[in-house]
Amino acid sequence: MTRASGFKKSRQKSRRRVSRLDDAVADALGETADEVHRAGLENIDAMVGKKTGRLRRGYRKRLSRKSLKALVGYVSAAARRSAFYARFVHDGTSKAKARPYHDHAVLEYEGKHRARMRGANAAALDDRAAPSGTGRAGGSRERSIT
């Protein structure tokens, strides 16, 4: 009878891979949140004519590394109350045109964020985390199934 071995080491490797992925994703989310926040503030300055400072003061960013969430905008209830009119400035009204400072900032960094997420995945699944030889299909050369 043959005994299988290496399960403990395999489980440890898998746990390390998950923690590396979480760290890389959190870093990428933080970078994206920083860039979107900065671009949003620049857009507020460029798009809004009358500047009281409420839109800028309430426009914040928040990163939770534990739950892997990044928020940019009016993230607290106090900020939403203070800049209640921000949604009307952003989306417009029947008498005022829309000034979508946040949407433009998000769209500007959407592609870069996707690339960061792919990079985070690649960093977590580096060559040390490659599948074993038995998990690979095709051996040393590819074979056609037809």
pLDDT in tens, 43-81: 999 998 888 888 899 999 999 999 999 999 999 999 988
What does the alpha-carbon distance between residue 18 and residue 131 come to, in Å, rounded to a whole number? 15
H/E run at residue 85? none
User: What predicted TM-score, i.e. pTM, was given to this entire model?
Assistant: 0.74
What does the alpha-carbon distance between residue 126 and residue 24 come to, in Å, rounded to a whole number? 12
Assess contact for 28 and 120: CB atoms under 8 A: yes
CA angle, residues 35, 37, 38, in degrees to nearest 5? 65
- Reported confidence tier of residue 146, pLDDT bands at 50, 70, 90: very low
pLDDT, tens digit (0-9, with 9 covering 90-100), for 83-124:
888 889 999 999 999 999 999 999 999 999 999 999 888 887
